[in-house]
C-alpha cells in the first residue's frame, strides 16, 4: 500500500505548530518514518523541536531532504473561511496554515521516501532533516541538525529542500542558489542644539542623509551569471524628536541588503564602514553600525545533481524548470555548507496568506517527482 501524501499533509496541518511550537507534527512524522524502518532522533535545542531520520547505513552514499513543519501565525482568524488547522480537503483543494509553506512539501517527500525504501530498498541511505524553526530565528533548527550530524558522523551527499519554488504551475522553477541577506542598523551621533543656531550643534540627520545618499547613489552591481542585481533598501529613518526647533543628538536608520555572489557580507560591511568614515570626515557626525547577516549568497552550479532534479521534474510535468536564484532566504543557506543543495516544491501563491491552500493534484505530482528523483539518484 502506498503512502498518501495528501492525507499525511492534512494530518500535519491539524498539528498547530506555529513557531516554535511542535504541535505534534514531528511526533506524527517520527511515527510514520519509524514504522517504515527509519532511525529517528529528536535533535531539540533551546526549546526548538527538530527531527533527524535515516534509512540505511551510516556513511553510505545518501540522498537528503530538508524541510520544516513550523508555520507562521494565522493572523486574523475571523478572516479565514475555514479552520486554519482543520486540514480540510474540499473539491480537490487542501486548506490550512502550512498548505503551501511547507507541510505539503514535507508530506510529499516523507511519503516518497517511505514508499521508495519499501518498494526498492536503495544501495545507500536516505536522510531527512526536519525542523521546527525555519519561520523563526533559524538559530536552533537546521543549524542544530547539521551540528548533530557533524558530531555523530552523519552526512548527506546531496540535499533537496522542499520549499515552494514553482511560480505559476508546478515544475516551472527550481532554485539552484539564493541571494545573501543582511541588515544594517546605523546610528548617527551629533550634538543637540537650537535649530536657529546650527553652528552650535551638529545635526546627525544631515550626516545620516548624506551617508544613505552615498549608499543608494550607485547600484552594488548589475547582476552576475546566475543572479539578478543586488539590492539595497532603506527601510526606516528615525530620530524620536518631537520638537520642530531642536536639532537632535542622535538619529538612526535601517538598511536591508540582498546580495549576489559578487559579494560577501564582510566585503559589504567594509564598504559601508569606508563610506561612514568619509561622511564623518566631511560632517563630524559619528556612526555606529550593528549588522545582522541572515545568510551568505550561494550557488549550486549546473551539473550532475542539477540535471538529475531538472530531468525528473520535466519527466513528470512536461516542463523544463527555470534555474533560479530569486526570492528570499531558506534553510538551504545552512545546508550549502554541508553538501550541494537545491530547492524544489509546489506553487507558493498562497503561502503566509489568509485561507492558505493548495490543489491536491499538486501534492500528488510533487510526491511523484520526489520519487522519480530518488529512483534516478540510486539507479
| pLDDT, tens only, 203-231 | 999 999 999 999 999 999 999 999 999 99
Catalytic residue numbers, as ranges: 70, 134
Closest CA to 193 of 123, 295, 284: 284
Query: What local confidence, expressed as pLDDT, does residue 140 receive?
Result: 96
Distance between CA 5 and CA 364 in Å, rounded? Answer: 7
Distance between CA 232 and CA 225 in Å, rounded? Answer: 20
Distance between CA 181 and CA 186 in Å, rounded? Answer: 16
Query: What local confidence, expressed as pLDDT, does residue 1 receive?
Result: 82
| pLDDT, tens only, 109-150 | 999 999 999 998 889 999 999 999 999 988 999 999 999 999
The residues of the chain scoring below 50 in pLDDT are none
Domains of the chain in sequence order: 5-178+297-377 (3.40.630.10), 180-295 (3.30.70.360)
Instruction: Tell me the percentage of the chain whose pLDDT exceeds 90.
Output: 97
Query: What local confidence, expressed as pLDDT, does residue 117 receive?
Result: 97
Query: What local confidence, expressed as pLDDT, does residue 325 receive?
Result: 97
Query: What local confidence, expressed as pLDDT, does residue 43 receive?
Result: 98
What's the predicted TM-score (pTM) here? Answer: 0.92
Q: Who contacts 31 (Cβ-Cβ below 8 Å, separation ≥6)?
A: none
Amino acid at each position: 500500500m502506498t503512502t498518501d501524501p495528501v492525507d499525511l499533509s492534512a494530518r500535519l496541518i491539524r498539528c498547530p505548530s506555529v513557531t516554535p511550537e511542535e504541535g505534534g507534527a514531528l511526533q506524527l512524522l517520527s511515527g510514520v518514518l519509524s514504522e517504515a524502518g527509519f532511525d529517528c532522533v529528536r535533535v531539540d535545542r533551546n526549546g526548538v523541536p527538530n527531527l533527524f531520520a535515516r534509512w540505511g547505513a551510516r556513511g553510505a552514499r545518501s540522498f537528503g531532504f530538508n524541510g520544516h513543519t513550523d508555520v507562521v501565525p494565522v493572523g486574523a482568524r475571523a478572516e479565514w473561511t475555514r479552520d486554519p488547522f482543520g486540514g480540510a480537503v474540499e473539491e480537490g483543494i487542501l486548506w490550512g496554515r502550512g498548505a503551501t509553506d511547507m507541510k505539503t512539501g514535507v508530506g510529499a517527500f516523507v511519503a516518497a521516501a517511505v514508499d521508495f525504501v519499501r518498494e526498492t530498498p536503495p544501495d545507500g541511505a536516505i536522510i531527512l532533516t526536519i525542523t521546527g524553526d525555519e519561520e523563526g530565528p533559524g538559530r536552533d533548527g537546521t543549524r542544530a541538525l547539521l551540528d548533530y550530524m557533524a558530531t555523530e558522523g552523519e552526512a548527506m551527499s546531496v540535499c533537496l529542500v522542499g520549499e515552494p519554488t514553482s511560480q505559476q504551475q508546478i515544475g516551472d522553477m527550481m532554485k539552484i542558489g539564493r541571494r545573501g541577506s543582511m541588515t544594517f542598523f546605523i546610528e548617527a551621533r551629533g550634538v543637540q542644539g537650537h535649530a536657529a543656531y546650527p553652528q552650535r550643534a551638529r545635526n546627525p540627520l544631515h550626516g545620516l542623509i548624506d551617508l544613505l545618499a552615498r549608499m543608494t547613489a550607485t547600484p552594488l552591481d548589475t547582476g552576475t551569471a546566475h543572479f539578478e542585481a543586488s539590492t539595497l533598501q532603506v527601510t526606516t529613518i528615525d530620530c524620536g524628536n518631537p520638537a520642530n526647533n531642536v536639532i537632535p543628538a542622535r538619529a538612526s536608520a535601517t538598511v536591508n541588503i540582498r546580495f549576489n555572489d559578487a559579494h560577501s557580507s564582510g566585503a559589504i560591511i567594509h564598504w559601508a564602514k569606508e563610506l561612514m568614515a568619509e561622511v564623518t570626515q566631511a560632517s563630524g557626525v559619528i556612526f555606529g553600525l550593528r549588522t545582522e547577516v541572515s545568510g551568505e549568497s550561494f550557488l549550486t552550479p549546473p551539473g550532475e545533481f542539477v540535471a538529475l532534479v531538472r530531468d525528473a521534474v520535466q519527466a513528470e510535468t512536461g516542463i523544463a524548470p527555470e534555474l533560479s536564484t530569486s526570492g528570499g532566504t531558506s534553510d538551504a543557506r545552512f545546508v550549502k555548507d554541508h553538501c550541494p543543495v537545491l530547492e524544489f516544491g509546489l506553487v507558493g501563491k498562497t503561502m503566509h496568506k489568509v485561507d492558505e491552500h493548495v490543489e491536491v493534484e499538486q501534492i500528488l505530482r510533487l510526491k511523484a517527482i520526489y520519487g522519480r528523483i530518488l529512483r534516478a539518484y540510486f539507479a
